[in-house]
Amino acid sequence: MAQDKRPYVVVVIIQAIYAGMFVLSKAAFDAGLSPLVFLFYRQAMASVVLLPITIVAKWGTSSNLSFMVLFKIFILSLIGITFGLNVSHIGLKLTSETVGSAAFNAIPVITFFLAFLMRMETLNLTKSHGIAKAAGVILCLAGVGLIAFYMGPSIPPLNHHQLFHPESGGPSEVHSKGTWIKGTFLLFFANVAWSLWLVMQGFILKECPSKILLTTIQCVFSTLQTFVVAIAFERDFSKWKMGFDVQLLSVVYCALCNAGISWYLQAWCLQVKGPVFVAMSNPLCIIFTVLSAILILGVPVSLGSILGGILTVAGLYSVLWGKNIESKMFKLSNENSEGQNREEQIAVPIGERTPQETITVATTF
């Protein structure tokens, strides 16, 4: 396979894995698995896999972590994983896998908005790129509102035999207007928490010596946190039992494929093509999820979910387009500034230059 084609194949695989996560998680919740217990099992399995790998690879660097850095990672895990994913799973249980994947596209837009509030991003409404970024945030919010308040007619599935037969919950719960609205806004708040987690992680990565070490510590901390939450709210221990069915399959899949394979592939793709390229592939997730629901799962998809997903995707691309134009303008401005500095430096007579300035000009040319 040609080198330039690999990132395109990789992002398709990543989004297919994410679509599988939404589909299997929703099926497990419909089959009676508690979202709180599910997250604990998922994080515990991910910790069991990642911990020995990290100990072998990064044993020496772990001693460089101070108590304050560990405390920050603990808070980071609490916000992004324990709170964010628990709320996201509950919202997914109350809506559908299509809504979950549509809301997933709002994360880059919400992340930009939070970064703007923290003055990590700029928003110049007198420029086209600033207007595009502001319009992207508005389109994203409009998409979430449309998903919440307009269900519309359902697109019937082509496969009328459901792959997974829910034991509890099911269509009556999903299609209740009240639970649908509640679930949609829970997904939105979960994405806000996840976006805040992404922004805060940028600061903590400067203090943590390794990305895999940070990931593993978060998994361990979130395992302890999610256990406390699950044991506090799920006193019925029958909710903790899992058979060899879709419940166990979803836990294993999310722990290994989502937290393992997809994160590794995503890190590789970020290194090769950059974050904008990865973010622009997010809409593939909702396409894969809708196709899975209609063709494989035998689940109807509401028109409101599709239209809201389209608005959310449009908001994502609007923000990314604005960011791309802004980056090009910033790069061009820096190049012009550097060229002007070189011209001023060359204009200085050789005899009046310091030795360091003479070396700099010679090296530049």
Give per-residue pLDDT as tens, 201-247: 767 877 877 777 888 888 899 999 999 999 999 888 778 888 778 88
Q: What is the pLDDT of residue 224?
A: 95
What is the average pLDDT score of the chain? 77
Q: Of residues 185 and 165, which shows the higher confidence score?
A: 185
Residue 167: pLDDT over 50: no
Residue 363: pLDDT over 80: no
Give me the domain span that covers residue 125. 3-326
Q: How many other C-beta atoms are found inside a 10 Å radius of the C-beta of residue 234?
A: 16
Measured distance CA(82)–CA(45) in Å, rounded: 15
Residue 81: pLDDT over 70: yes
Residue 335, in any domain of the structure: no
Q: What is the pLDDT of residue 36?
A: 92
Indicate whether this model's pTM tops 0.85: no
- β-partners of residue 301 are 155
Q: Of residues 260 and 40, which shows the higher confidence score?
A: 40
What percentage of the chain exceeds 70 in pLDDT?
A: 78
- β-partners of residue 155 are 301
Q: CB of 146 within 8 A of CB of 228?
A: no
Measured distance CA(295)–CA(4) in Å, rounded: 32
What percentage of the chain exceeds 90 in pLDDT?
A: 9
pLDDT band with cut points at 50, 70 and 90 for residue 346: low
Q: What is the pLDDT of residue 289?
A: 83
Q: Give the range among 57-71, 77-91, 223-237, 277-291 with minimum mean pLDDT.
A: 57-71
Q: pLDDT digit string (tens) for 102-161?
A: 777 777 777 777 777 877 777 788 888 889 888 888 888 888 788 878 878 877 766 655
Residues 6+ apart with CB under 8 A from 216: 47, 50, 51, 53, 54
Residue 362, in any domain of the structure: no
Q: What is the pLDDT of residue 58?
A: 65
Q: CB of 57 within 8 A of CB of 212?
A: yes
Residue 339, in any domain of the structure: no
Tell me if residue 301 falls in helix, strand or coil. Answer: strand
Q: What is the pLDDT of residue 119?
A: 75
Residue 252, in any domain of the structure: yes
For 105, the token pair is: 């596209």
SS3 content of the chain, % helix, strand, coil (to 5): 80, 0, 20
Measured distance CA(204)–CA(334) in Å, rounded: 28
Measured distance CA(36)–CA(33) in Å, rounded: 9
Residues 6+ apart with CB under 8 A from 150: 303, 304, 307, 308
Residue 184, in any domain of the structure: yes
pLDDT band with cut points at 50, 70 and 90 for residue 364: very low
Q: What is the pLDDT of residue 344?
A: 57
The number of C-alpha atoms within 13 Å of 25 and in the hemisphere containing its C-beta is 34
Residue 318, in any domain of the structure: yes
For 226, the token pair is: 């999610």
Residue 112, in any domain of the structure: yes
Integer Rg of the chain from CA:
24
Measured distance CA(190)–CA(192) in Å, rounded: 5
Residue 337, in any domain of the structure: no
Number of domains in the chain: 1
The DSSP-derived string for 215-235 is: HHHHHHHHHHHHHHHHHHH--
Measured distance CA(308)–CA(324) in Å, rounded: 24
